[in-house]
């Protein structure tokens, strides 16, 4: 693993940082208060081509690697977690999943429009009774001639109300368990498809989160992603990418806390000196810095493996678990450093504190990540009798972990 960034990676990082500070940061607090998805910012992101960072140029992307994508995602989340959600869904969960599992016709049709923002995607896996137990899909797919009729409900779907296309996971036969799950690309304008925004969220208030309802939605068999029964594998591979961008984003949130706290700590005076000169404050800032550096190295290791095409479920889970926990520690300490001011939205640390919590929940709860990591360490085999151990993972085999995510 090369610890030196290439000129292209550094250029992408700087370009994204400049864009985030100029276009995203000034509106982040107001959009959070208004619970507003900012289409003006989104359109500027589309115009820059950021959403296609790791997608090959052949399909309308920038053709850059996962290190560049991770650095870019970190810079977005450094100023706004809600905006980073758009990247995680559009790029990691949707575009990269179509890139891996789609037919050439599907890739040529969908990827360029996902990269330029003409299409917006969402990832319809979670259901009211299927969060971490993702194999318990209740949405049904019934064969009808050359089509399938999809019926069911999805919930906590990021970008659900703004999406033009949804990856919907449904079972063709509930008796088959996870082997009956199949993934479909659904046009959200289809008859019987509707979305309802979810309000009153603790964090990510400037992102769209919705429930999806499907009432006999007709989907051509040609819109199937992979084959019948591949859906669980499709979902798990998507989550390896989603967890990566969440981990990188979590590191960005920690960095945002560091930036806010180091500035404030040298301006706020107590007992005749800046609070940054008090050892208790220094200890909290030191913990943030250590967590930030460690989290960054973990997601960059996962990026390195992704660039090599090596299976990285374990490494991505490690990065997601550690960085998510680190973001929550940083948000907590940032509010503590700001004291009473940190308890109001006058300063960004209150938003960082709220936004951090979801990092322990979505794209696989921290408990699910711990199961993946512990089962690897213990050499426990999953329900398919396959090992998820480190040696198997390093060998690059295609087996998937037993447990999914919310």
Q: Which residues are catalytic, by number?
A: 363
The 3-state DSSP class for residue 235 equals helix
Q: Which candidate, 276, 167, 156, places its Cα nearest to that of 204?
A: 156
Judged on CB neighbours under 10 Å (0-12, 13-18, 19+), 321 is buried
Describe the crossing of helices 39-48 and 7-19 by its angle, rounded to 10 degrees: 160
Q: Are 250 and 359 in contact (CB under 8 A)?
A: yes
Q: Of the candidates 97, 157, 81, which has an alpha carbon nearest to the alpha carbon of residue 352?
A: 81
What lies within 8 Å, CB to CB, of 46 at 6+ separation is 116, 117, 118
Tell me the three state secondary structure of residue 16: helix
58-72 as b/e, with b when 16 or more CB fall inside 10 Å? ebbbbebbbbbbbbb
Are the CB atoms for 118 and 150 separated by under 8 Å? no
How far apart CA 223 and CA 106 sit, in angstroms, is 8
Backbone angles phi, psi at 273, to 5 degrees: -155, 160
Q: How far apart are CA 16 and CA 149, in angstroms?
A: 42
Strands (E), 191-238: 193-197, 209-220, 224-225
Q: Tell me the helices (H) and strands (E) count for the chain, helix number first.
A: 13, 10
């Amino acid at each position: 693993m090369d610890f030196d960034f290439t000129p292209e990676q550094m250029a992408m990082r700087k370009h994204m940082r400049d864009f985030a500070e100029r276009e995203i940061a000034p509106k982040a607090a107001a959009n959070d208060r208004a619970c507003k998805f900012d289409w003006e910012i989104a359109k500027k992101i589309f115009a820059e081509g950021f959403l296609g960072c790791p997608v090959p140029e052949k399909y309308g992307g920038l053709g850059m690697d996962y290190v560049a994508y991770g650095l870019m995602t970190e810079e977005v989340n450094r100023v706004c977690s809600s905006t980073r959600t758009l990247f995680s869904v559009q790029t990691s969960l949707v575009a990269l999943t179509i890139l891996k599992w789609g037919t050439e016709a599907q890739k040529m049709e969908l990827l360029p429009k996902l990269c330029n923002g003409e299409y917006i995607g969402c990832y319809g896996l979670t259901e009211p009774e299927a969060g971490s137990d993702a194999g318990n899909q209740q949405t049904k797919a019934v064969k009808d001639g050359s089509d399938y009729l999809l019926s069911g409900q999805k919930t906590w779907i990021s970008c659900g109300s703004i999406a033009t296309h949804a990856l919907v996971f449904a079972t063709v036969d509930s008796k088959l368990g996870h082997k009956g799950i199949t993934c479909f690309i659904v046009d959200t304008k289809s008859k019987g498809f509707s979305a309802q925004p979810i309000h009153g969220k603790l964090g990510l208030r400037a992102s769209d989160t919705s429930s999806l309802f499907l009432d006999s939605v007709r989907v051509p068999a040609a819109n199937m992603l992979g084959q019948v029964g591949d859906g669980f594998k499709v979902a798990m591979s998507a989550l390896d990418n989603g967890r990566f961008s969440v981990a990188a984003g979590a590191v960005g949130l920690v960095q945002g806390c560091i930036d806010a706290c180091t500035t404030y700590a040298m301006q706020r005076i107590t007992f005749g000196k800046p609070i940054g000169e008090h050892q208790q404050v220094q200890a909290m800032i030191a913990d943030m810095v250590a967590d930030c550096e460690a989290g960054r190295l973990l997601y960059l290791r996962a990026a390195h493996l992704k660039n090599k095409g090596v299976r990285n479920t374990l490494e991505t889970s490690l990065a997601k678990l550690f960085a998510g926990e680190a973001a929550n520690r940083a948000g907590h300490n940032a509010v503590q450093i700001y004291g009473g001011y940190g308890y109001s939205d006058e300063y960004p640390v209150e938003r960082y504190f709220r936004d951090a919590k979801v990092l322990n929940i979505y794209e696989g709860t921290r408990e699910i990540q711990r199961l993946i990591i512990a089962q690897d360490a213990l050499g426990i085999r999953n329900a398919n009798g396959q090992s998820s151990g480190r040696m198997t993972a390093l060998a690059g085999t295609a087996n998937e972990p037993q447990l999914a995510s919310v």
